[in-house]
Every structure is written in structure tokens, then in C-alpha cells.
A = this chain, B = another copy of it.
């Protein structure tokens, strides 16, 4: 089957996810800069989640642009990935609701969903490789080198953040931002493979 509709549906779901998070940005009740400033953490978490969702959309775009076909397995792996991504508005909202900021448990849950999203990426890319020529394919070559250190480093950092959440939740949040920074540079290898 063609990949077109899987891309279109994923675009729709990710577009809704990235946009409804703004519904959590409740306008302050007083029209003052102080009232706005008191909500600074809400903006920081909005930016962080926006960057994460944007990042996953970018990688999703790169991943699918390197292949042509999909099958039932790819579709379920994709839905599984979208499921974890769809929890971002919830975990972001809880992170902001809790006092004092950031609270341990919401910080840990935020990281847990990040970790599960990262893990759900693995069966998705494997199913795509299997469906598009197997381990000798262009996609497999393009992904092969990358998965190594960046994915492993991210998973390790998420685990560190989960460990530090009960003691120093602010450190966990810094780690989340670090991992995002690590991935902001798009995957040049797929781009190179495609243009070659």
C-alpha cells in the first residue's frame, strides 16, 4: 500500500497535538506583567513540549520520506507511537498544575512518556525497514549509523532524569531540555541518502 494516507493522518494527529497544548495556556486573571510572569513556567513547559512534538514530526517526516510502502504492521507501530505522543498535552498540563514547581511525580511522568515515545520509535522504524526492502535497503543504511549513539544517549539520559526526579526534579527538566537540544539538528544522513 502507498504511504500517503499514513503520512496525512500522522500530520493531522501531530498538528492537533501540538496545537491543543496552547489550550492549557490559560490567560492570567489580572492584566499585568506580574500575572504573566507568575506563569513563566507554563510557557517554558509549553516551549519544551512544542519543541519535542516538532522534533518528532521532523523525524517522522525524514523517516517516511526515505521509504515508499506501508503495511498493517507499520500502521499499528505508527498508532502506538502516536498514542504516546498524544499524552504530551496531559503530562505537560500536570507538570504546570502541581506546586511547588516542578513537582517530583509529574516530572517523572513527563519523562516516562518521553521515554516510551522514544522506545515506540524503534518498532516503527523496524517495521518500515522490513516493509521497504529489509536490512540492505537505503532506509536501513540511512538509519543504521544514526540510531547508535543518539538514541542510546537519549534513553540513558531519560533514565537518569527518572532517577533524579524524586530528589531534584529541576535537574530532570534540564535533562529533558538537553535531549531535545541533541535532536534539534535534523538527521543529515537521511537527507544525504535521499538527495544522492
Contact = CB atoms under 8 A, between A and B. Distances in A.
A19 to B, nearest CB: 4
A80 B104 CA distance: 30
Contacts of A121: none
A99 B62 CA distance: 46
Q: Could you say which of A8, A29, A47, A87 has the most chain B C-beta atoms within 10 Å of its C-beta?
A: A8
Contacts of A16: 12, 15-16, 19-20
Could you tell me the dominant secondary structure of chain A's interface residues? helix
Contacts of A33: 105
A163 interface: no
B11 A5 contact: yes
A72 B58 contact: yes
Contacts of A15: 9, 12-13, 15-16
Contact of A27 (B93, B184, B186): B93
B194 A27 contact: no
A-side interface size class: 35 or more
A188 interface: yes
Contacts of A58: 72, 75-76, 79
Contact of A5 (B65, B89, B98): B65
Interface string A79-90: 100110011011
Interface string A17-40: 111101101011111110010000
A7 B97 CA distance: 34
Interface of A: 1-2, 5-9, 11-20, 22-23, 25, 27-33, 36, 47, 50, 54, 57-58, 61-62, 64-65, 71-72, 75-76, 79, 82-83, 86-87, 89-90, 93-94, 97-99, 103-106, 109, 184-188, 191, 194-195
